[in-house]
Amino acid sequence: MSIESTKPFPIATTIPIKGTFSETWLQDLICEDPSILKLGDLEFVTREKVQWKNGRLDILLKDPEDDRMFEVEVMLGETDEKHIIHTIEYWDNEQRKYPQRQHFPVLVAESFDRRFFNIIHLFSQTIPLIAVQVKLIEVAGNRSLDFTKIIDIYQEPEETEKSDEPIGEDYWIKNAPWTLEAANTLLEIIKPIFPSGRLHCVKHYIAIEVDGENRIWIHKRGNPKSLINFWFTQSLLPKAVELLDSVEISTTTKRQEVLLTMDSKSLKTHESTMIELCNMFKASWEE
């Protein structure tokens, strides 16, 4: 069948949500089915959560698999600086209250103009900020909501060969002293297990090197957190996750890796757990 003989597709039009529906209406839909945000199979936790001196958090969602929390701010129309700041404030308050969990601020808006898009993009390189654009679309008399993730959690770029070249600790003191502090704290904790351990600093991460090989990786995250990466054999991975769950340290697993978002203070608080974890880690490398 030729293209000319087919019926034309109906043309979609975008209808402004602001003025047609309310923010409460949109919040209701998200609370009833958080999956519409396309952030995974999330669960509703609470709504309009009061935060001291900082208003109310629109929606709090949770990933039931790893207890990651998503602090969601919803607005209609064009985004503005007030809502961007509120999103970050609510996220910061929650992560301070529950530091052993990973937290992600989410701003849902109808439109992000170039200026604010650039600002949010810059924030996302140090804060795990997610921006979701929502549109109300009408096609042939039928209306549908479309959610599009336009800014995702920042990921460090893949390291090239040059990025593995050692760099002085002065670079980390200037750019992310909290990550260097966490790396030194972890190194001190595991010294009895890995006496030859030392820091190996490159531009995009700090590694703990043992006998000339990088074994543990520490990446910068928003102050004061850092992402710590451990590798385990398949037989020891479930035991490592179980150990961390028992003391309510939130983890993310990626293949045979366990990722922890911690800081120097939390590492010291859980020193005995980290020692036990590193003994499992050592056994993985020796298998």
Residue 154 has pLDDT above 70, yes or no: no
pTM score: 0.53
pLDDT > 70: percent of the chain: 87
Convert the pLDDT of each residue in 9-40 to its tens digit: 778 788 889 888 999 999 999 999 999 998 88
Lowest mean pLDDT among 63-67, 181-185, 205-209: 63-67
Residue 222: its H or E element: none
CB 111 within 8 A of CB 126: no
User: What is the DSSP secondary-structure string of 244-263?
Assistant: HHHTT--EEEETTEEEEEE-
pLDDT at 141: 82
In whole numbers, what is the pLDDT of the chain averaged over residues?
84
CB 275 within 8 A of CB 189: yes
Distance CA 186, CA 268 (A): 8
Convert the pLDDT of each residue in 56-98 to its tens digit: 899 999 987 767 899 999 999 888 888 888 888 888 888 888 7
Domains present along the chain, CATH in parentheses: 3-151 (3.40.1350.10), 161-286 (3.90.1150.20)
Residue 240: its H or E element: helix 237-246
Phi, psi dihedrals of residue 246, rounded to the nearest 5° = -65, -25
> Can you tell me the mean pLDDT for 216-221?
90
